[in-house]
Amino acid sequence: YNQMEPGCYDIINYYGIGGIGKTSLLVTKLQREIRNKVDSKSDICAYYNFEKNQQKSDFLFILSRQIMLRNKGSKFPVFDYAFEKWMRETGKSQEEINSYIAGKENEIFSIEGLIDKAGAIASDVLPFMNITTTMAKGVIGFLEKSTHRNELASGENARIVYEINCLQGVEIETRLEKFFAHDAKKILREIKTPFVIMLDGYEALVNKLGQGDKARAEDNWLHEPKIGLVRKLPNVLWVVAGREKLHWEEDILPNEQTHLMGQISLEDAKLYFHKIGIFDEKMIAGLHKLTSGTPVYMDWCYKQYIQLQREKGYEIKLEDFGSNT
């Protein structure tokens, strides 16, 4: 983050097995570090988890609103025009459009303020938890037509609008990332500090859409040289977490910027087990080996330990936990 050149972009990739702590790394540790290094009043971080929703259109809509919430007065006129036109041309009524916006509003507020419910994460450690309903009122929905008119008729916007008007509904959807980038890069160039976009659960995006080469092709809208969103947005640090190492082009993601999240060391595991009341060194070493030092499995062993105490009422042995992960 500190080494980023003004107007450029960069990527960091964290990957590892499920339960190793990728989400906690993104939404607690890294954001706490960002808050400590940068003015704590600055909202410079957006978060999205593909495990819940893999649709490109939904991701772009939610990200546009997160950027708008963090930068007072910023707008996405071209993207909004394209998005609404796409919805109408694919048969959506005004009621359905309003329902979509209401649903996304709830989803955005869930991302902004209720991550702690999903991941048992205290909201006070997240730097972007100061968004209120009052501040967001009028930001989530589309701009009024009268407000749109002047902005869409000026300069480069007019040329892009002409392009949108020449497209059919489905064709618009295939180019939404282009229209998003058109508006976003204007906003991001104005921000004094780099903006951080955290993408979590990335494997859900590619696993849903395909396997192998097909999977990598289906997420081209994010990284591909000609159309990729990553390459189009200036002043952004992308932090991408998933179970598998990203297979993106080396010119945007050098190998040294991909990081495998490995097991917790035995010494750290001892601290964990001591804290929850397990002190037998042989038992701890055995549980560390059994769980491969993975936090979610260590938590499971603790719950199993409590259950065994209730059921058996005598000294618990390592064998009681089974022979494999």
pLDDT tens, residue by residue, 25-58: 998 888 888 877 776 455 688 999 999 889 999 9
Compute the mean pLDDT over every residue in the chain, rounded to the nearest whole number.
82
Are residues 278 and 286 in contact, defined by beta-carbon separation less than 8 angstroms? Answer: no
Q: How confident is the model at residue 239 (pLDDT cuts 50, 70, 90)?
A: very high
Q: Can you give the pLDDT at residue 135?
A: 46
| Amino acid residing at 203 | E
Whether the CA torsion 265, 268, 274, 277 is positive or negative: it is negative
Q: Can you give the pLDDT at residue 293?
A: 85
List the one residue out of 11, 14, 10, 12 whose CA is nearest residue 243: 14
Q: Can you give the pLDDT at residue 214?
A: 57
Mean pLDDT for the stretch of residues 268-295 = 89
Mean pLDDT for the stretch of residues 246-262 = 90
pTM over 0.85: no
The one-character DSSP state at 6 is T
Question: Look-up: residue for tokens 């995006």?
Answer: 205
For 180-204, give one letter per residue: b (16+ CB within 10 A) or e.
bbbbbbbbbeebebbbbbbbbbbbb
Q: Can you give the pLDDT at residue 88?
A: 93
Can you tell me whether residue 241 is helix, strand or coil?
strand
Question: Look-up: residue for tokens 């560390």?
Answer: 288
Q: Can you give the pLDDT at residue 132?
A: 43
Decide if pLDDT at 21 tops 70.
yes
pLDDT in tens, 98-153: 899 888 887 887 776 534 333 333 333 333 334 444 445 557 777 665 566 777 87
Decide if pLDDT at 87 tops 60.
yes
Are residues 299 and 119 in contact, defined by beta-carbon separation less than 8 angstroms? Answer: no
The whole-angstrom separation of Cα 152 and Cα 255 is 41
The whole-angstrom separation of Cα 159 and Cα 55 is 27
Tell me what percent of the residues of the chain surpass a pLDDT of 90: 38
Q: Can you give the pLDDT at residue 89?
A: 92
Q: Can you give the pLDDT at residue 181?
A: 97
Q: How confident is the model at residue 207 (pLDDT cuts 50, 70, 90)?
A: confident
Q: Can you give the pLDDT at residue 109?
A: 75
Q: How confident is the model at residue 263 (pLDDT cuts 50, 70, 90)?
A: confident
Cα separation values, 9 from 30, 159, 237, Å: 18, 26, 6
Decide if pLDDT at 170 tops 70.
yes
